[in-house]
């Protein structure tokens, strides 16, 4: 039974779903890195929110770990690169708290415009500073949104409802979609220069870290206001504090910070006209229940069905149509690994026919799984197969063509070692039946299962009989056979499906019998 460690506070609904799926669940929160490193070796899955840091040290000790579930959107507290090297899938719940995050950004936007926190504090101190806290209207003002994902789109819709003009900076937002949303797509600099309010809704990446630095703050419209409910690290916090002190900005409201909890002596704590909240964007009863339920269902589906959902370190997705061809790619990779005794230097993965019209990136990743499975002792999956290939210096080439002469769709793999090159192709017939249809240019028709012998030999009378005699003498039954040749008396290939393993001594006799020395056993199990 898979074991799940819940290392952070998680709504009861999530715990119930995990246990209801037949998983063994331990709730053990508030642990240090050292304590988690001691515990993690006994678990197949880890669930966190934002408190525990999943470090390389913890992952190094995670011998059984297969999946990390982050109950929330950001994965800043998980070393995704280290998890990927270990072949651990990292999942998040990108939809669970989008409404709460958007609402919090809007709450800060309104509080900032109307000076709500300062007025509240003044009243509670016994004062009536009505003139001091004069605010501004949002209607007819310009809002600049950096990042137009789900949260950014909800904020845009609300802002438009308050009669604001909305500018949007997002390199991945098509102009057609921008028009549908009613926003004006612009580059970052014009957005900063034109917006009265700027709100950030982009993930923290190498490209967005420090995106709003001193130079960007200097470009902002004098008297503008900045809201950040996205991620700490996107804004240069020291530069922000200075911009508030010198009056360049009229105000700012932040829910996220580079270091959390925010240090007591941090300059933002004493900066003027700044609203601070302790990372409350997802802290609603509804959001916590949603993300707990979502991550629990994702982990349950992973162990029950092998389904991978919202994996942040998996670059490929599988449609129902692509799935059988991806499995065929893995099978072909396994076949070629056993025909190629020397280390591979290049893998070429070609998608031909109707298949090429779809996103075929998954094919090469599955092919790597099959190709590398027998040459590494570490767990190999869709997450770390490309990393292992890169470490071994294997170049990957992907090809696509809508032309396929004999089959509606075809996958063809070629593996080169520097000295030799082998090719295999396969298709999937109606009913999702996989077939290997080509080996090194020879046409065959084989179902990939059990054991298979592949022999290359000169095409002359009696050769097949000699192979059969050797196998018969060894009490190895031939279940199926397919012979391929390109010309009479030339080079030929025979693929024999056999019911039993082929001992090394029998393989040596077959190899000597081929006159080419090319005899291979392929285990598809």
- The whole-angstrom separation of Cα 421 and Cα 351 is 19
Distance set, CA 48 to CA 7, 73, 82, 494 (Å): 5, 11, 16, 54
Residue found under tokens 């040459």: 375
Going across the sheet that includes 165-169, the strands are 184-185, 165-169, 142-146, 197-200, 225-228, 251-254, 274-276
Among candidates 115, 120, 119, 159, which has minimal Cα distance to 141? 159
Give the torsion sign (CA, 27, 30, 34, 37). Answer: positive
Asked if residue 421 lies in contact with residue 470, where contact means CB atoms within 8 angstroms, the answer is no
- The whole-angstrom separation of Cα 10 and Cα 251 is 35
Q: What is the DSSP code string of 271-310?
A: -TTEEE-SS-TT-SHHHHHHHHHHHHHHHHHHHHH----S
260 is catalytic: yes
279 is catalytic: yes
User: What's the count of helices (H) and strands (E) in the chain, helices before strands?
Assistant: 17, 22
At 115 the three-state DSSP class reads coil
Asked if residue 59 lies in contact with residue 82, where contact means CB atoms within 8 angstroms, the answer is yes
Asked if residue 5 lies in contact with residue 43, where contact means CB atoms within 8 angstroms, the answer is yes
Q: Burial of 227 by CB count in 10 Å (0-12 exposed, 13-18 middle, 19+ buried)?
A: buried
305 is catalytic: no
Catalytic, out of 260, 323, 398, 518: 260
Q: Which two tokens stand for residue 32?
A: 């240090």
Catalytic, out of 31, 49, 104, 231: 231
Distance set, CA 253 to CA 199, 273, 427 (Å): 9, 8, 57
Residue 521's contacts (CB-CB under 8 Å, 6 or more residues apart) are 338, 451, 452, 453, 501, 502, 507
Distance set, CA 89 to CA 65, 92, 127, 128, 464 (Å): 9, 10, 55, 56, 47
Among candidates 316, 286, 335, which has minimal Cα distance to 385? 316
Asked if residue 69 lies in contact with residue 299, where contact means CB atoms within 8 angstroms, the answer is yes
Q: Which residues form the catalytic set? A: 231, 260, 279
């Amino acid at each position: 039974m898979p074991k799940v460690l819940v290392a952070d506070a998680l709504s009861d609904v999530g715990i119930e779903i995990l246990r209801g799926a037949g998983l063994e669940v331990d709730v053990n929160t508030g642990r240090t890195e050292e304590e988690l490193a001691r515990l993690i070796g006994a678990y197949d899955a880890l669930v966190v929110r934002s408190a525990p840091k999943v470090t390389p040290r913890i992952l190094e000790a995670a011998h059984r770990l297969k999946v990390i579930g982050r109950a929330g959107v950001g994965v800043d507290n998980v070393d995704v690169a280290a998890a990927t090297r270990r072949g651990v899938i990292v999942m998040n719940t990108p939809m669970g708290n989008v409404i709460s995050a958007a609402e919090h950004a809007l709450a800060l936007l309104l509080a900032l415009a109307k000076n709500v926190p300062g007025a509240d504090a003044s009243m509670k101190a016994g004062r009536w500073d009505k003139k001091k806290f004069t605010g501004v209207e949002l209607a007819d003002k310009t809002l600049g949104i950096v990042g137009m994902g789900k949260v950014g789109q909800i904020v845009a819709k609300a802002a438009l409802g308050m009669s604001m003009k909305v500018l949007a900076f997002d390199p991945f937002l098509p102009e057609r979609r921008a028009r549908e949303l009613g926003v004006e797509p612009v580059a970052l600099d014009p957005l900063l220069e034109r917006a009265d309010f700027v709100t950030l809704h982009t993930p923290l990446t190498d490209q967005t870290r420090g995106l709003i630095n001193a130079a960007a703050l200097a470009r902002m419209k004098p008297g503008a206001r900045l809201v950040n409910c996205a991620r700490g690290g996107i804004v240069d916090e020291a530069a922000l504090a200075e911009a508030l002190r010198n009056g360049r900005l009229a105000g700012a409201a932040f829910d996220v910070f580079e270091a959390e909890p925010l240090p007591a002596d941090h300059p933002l704590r004493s900066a003027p006209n700044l609203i601070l909240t302790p990372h409350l964007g997802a802290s609603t009863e509804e959001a916590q229940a949603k993300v707990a339920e979502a991550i629990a269902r994702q982990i349950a589906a992973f162990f029950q069905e092998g389904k991978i959902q919202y994996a942040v370190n998996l670059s490929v997705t599988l449609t129902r149509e692509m799935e059988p061809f991806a499995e065929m790619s893995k099978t072909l990779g396994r076949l070629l690994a056993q025909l190629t005794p020397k280390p591979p230097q290049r893998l070429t993965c070609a998608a031909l026919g109707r298949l090429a019209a779809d996103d075929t990136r998954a094919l090469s990743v599955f092919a790597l799984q099959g190709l590398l499975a027998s040459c590494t002792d570490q767990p190999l999956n869709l997450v770390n197969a490309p990393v292992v290939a890169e470490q071994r210096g294997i170049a990957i080439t992907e090809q696509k063509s809508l032309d396929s002469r004999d089959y509606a769709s075809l996958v063809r793999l070629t593996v080169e070692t520097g000295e030799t090159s082998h090719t295999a192709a396969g298709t999937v017939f109606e009913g999702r039946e996989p077939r290997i249809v080509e080996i090194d240019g020879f046409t065959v028709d084989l179902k990939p299962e059990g054991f298979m012998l592949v022999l290359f030999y000169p095409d002359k009378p009696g050769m097949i009989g000699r192979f059969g005699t050797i196998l018969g003498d060894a009490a190895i039954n031939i279940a199926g056979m397919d012979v391929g040749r390109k010309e009479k008396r030339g080079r030929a290939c025979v693929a024999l499906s056999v019911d039993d393993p082929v001992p090394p001594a029998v393989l040596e006799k077959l190899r000597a019998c081929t006159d080419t020395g090319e005899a291979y056993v392929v285990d598809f199990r």
